[in-house]
Amino acid sequence: MGKSFFDEGRRDKIAIFNLFFREAPDKNNWAVVSGVREALQMIQGLGCEDVSFFEKFLPGDDYKKFREYLSTMKFSGQVYAMKEGEIAFPKQPIITIVGPIIEAQVLETPLLCIMNHQMAIATKASRVTRSTSKPVSEFGSRRAHGPWAAEYGAKAAFIGGCANSSNILAGIEFGFPSSGTMAHSYTTSYGCNIEGELKAFNTYINTHRGEGLILLVDTFDTLKCGVKNAIRAFRENGIDDNYKPGYGIRLDSGDLAYLSRRCREMLDAAGLKKCKIFATNALDEYIISEIERQDAKIDSYGVGDAIATSKHNPCFGNVYKLVQFDGEPVLKRSEDKVKLINPGFQVTYRIIQDGKFKADVTCLRGDSFSKTIEAGEYLEIVDEKDETKRTSFESGSYTYKELQELIYDNGQVFEDNRTIYEKRDYYKSNLASLNETQTRIINPHYYKVDISDDLYDMKMHLINKLMNQITLMDKGEDVAHVVVDMLYDFIDGSLACGNAENAVKLDVEYITNHPENKVYYVADHHPANHSSFKENGGIWPAHCVAGTHGGSIHSEFYKLGHNAPSKENTFYKATEVEKEEYSGYEARREDGTKLADLLPKNVIISGIATEYCIRETIFNLIKGGHTVYLRENALGYIEEEGHNRVLAELSRISVKII
């Protein structure tokens, strides 16, 4: 794709991509953001390889210039992102990339690789840690999908609420504590007998005195020997409730709820009431919730593969979609409704009332809804899928925060200098700001997430245009294209209109790309003394006089081969001195044939000016029983406000905007 953009000369066109997810895992409706730090590091790394690297997979002379371009390419755009520890909802931009199309497009796979992995882990860690009020340690490195995943997964798990991790490298890199206990192999290395177990415990205590001491008690039999040997070892080595670093036992098999209760009884009876019980054994949020329900006496948990691989949902659903290109909003439409995206350059506002998060609204940057929010004015949020669901906020009753911040601008990095603890605390603060019904593990209440009216209108406008184009294509040859008044006086002459030059350009391109459509041209053909001219008491300056340059069809249309203007396909209106005629429906060609008599059922309209000749021509076409498709971008207009008003009017009478 990059080479195509490069060769075509589009490499400097500005693209906007959004990274977001459509559905949260485990039938929840939110996720925890992690990975932005590493994503930013990756973006900064563009352009660090020389040409020889790219030659390995882009060989040959055809790729020479493109290889040279890639070898020096740095990201020159902007990056907006949610903070690590933020709670994100479906379709909200987690990262927005704004930059030249090749630079922005090439980020897709590495961004998704980083963000999908870390958000899967952080979100799963959130679920596991929400299943209990006890501390949870991340113990999953041995199950992770490689060393890189183990390290950065541990970081994501910490942000998502874990107390620590067994991954020492992650602890060093990010500045949080590493934690671990002995393995069964340590115990069996002293012999496969209960005397060996006791010796293992004694040796461990003596070689780690002054540290936290956790003894693994289920190597042979938890209750009949393991706990008994642990109690004996603690006593013989002077470890009791006065031991400040803390001490405890670990359960790693069996009925953890039952065993923890029995162990607690035995430890308390021995006077070791502050001895902690730590539990592992393929735990997840569902198992922990059930253990807690059964009144287990467990003080903390270690969770491995359920977090490290996000076991129930190992593939997080972030996607990376183009939402705007060269200033024009775009979207991807799909037969699957969930895949429909929001177009345009967006920002999300979180509405806060009485210290609680009440709703999120994603807006087009600078749109009317965003201005209302920023001004603190009366706000009414209407559910995109159900207009009966409305939530209102009185003026001055709420505050807000923007969720996407500028973190990179053409090489300048705006560092997030928060510690890993501050990122975790930020997540916990966000969690506490949700209603508790929205944070439960099973069947949570869904938080209100919406889009602004302007974003909704833009989205539906693009969808409707696209569907009208698809419908039109499906009509085959039963289509005619009527080009109205693409005349020089309306383009650069006495009545020059807005968007006229662009309308010509886009219309010529369209006709070139659709040679199957029969094209008809309508032209004002005024006598020099026409009654509509100001000098004759009318309202318009003299324009489009027959036989003048100003009354001629733009020369670009004459390059269209069989669809160029000719005597056979050009029709004239307003040819009588006393008759003003805006509509082209009754226009006649030189032999007297009326345009209305030649038109098929389906008619495409383009031309000038929206408020007058376009509007009246379409009204007559509708009365004549035609289905009208209006080329929105190929219209010239007197005033943009009037143009937009007429487009809205025409939409209401079933004109199909394309």
pLDDT of residue 339: 72
Question: How do beta strands 78-81 and 213-216 pair?
Answer: unpaired
Please give the distance of CA 643 from its chain centroid, rounded to a whole number: 32
Residue with tokens 């911040």: 405
Task: Reply yes or no on whether the pLDDT at 337 is more than 70.
Answer: no
Span 222-236, average pLDDT? 97
- Is the whole-model pTM more than 0.85? yes
405-445 tens-digit pLDDT: 999 999 999 999 999 999 999 999 999 999 999 999 989 99
What backbone torsions phi and psi does residue 104 show, to the nearest 5 degrees?
-75, -40
Share the mean pLDDT of the chain. 95
Task: Reply yes or no on whether the pLDDT at 176 is more than 90.
Answer: yes
Residue with tokens 């979180």: 350
245-289 tens-digit pLDDT: 999 999 999 999 999 999 999 999 999 999 999 999 999 999 999
List Cα–Cα distances, 604 to 287, 319, 483, 620, 621, in angstroms.
63, 36, 8, 14, 10
Angstrom distance (rounded) from CA 436 to CA 201: 43
> Confidence band (pLDDT; 50, 70, 90) for 656?
very high
Percent of the chain with pLDDT over 90: 92
Token representation of residue 230: 């642990």
List Cα–Cα distances, 592 to 228, 518, 523, 563, in angstroms.
111, 19, 14, 20
pLDDT of residue 270: 98
Q: Are 63 and 69 in contact (CB under 8 A)?
A: no
Identify which of 588, 616, 614, 611 has the alpha carbon closest to the alpha carbon of residue 507. 614
Task: Reply yes or no on whether the pLDDT at 450 is more than 90.
Answer: yes
Span 387-392, average pLDDT? 86
pLDDT of residue 65: 95
588-619 tens-digit pLDDT: 999 999 999 999 999 999 999 999 999 999 99
Q: Which helix (H) or strand (E) holds 652?
A: helix 640-652
Q: Which helix (H) or strand (E) holds 105?
A: helix 101-105
Percent of the chain with pLDDT over 70: 99
Angstrom distance (rounded) from CA 622 to CA 655: 8
pLDDT of residue 336: 63
Strand, coil or helix: what is 359? Answer: strand
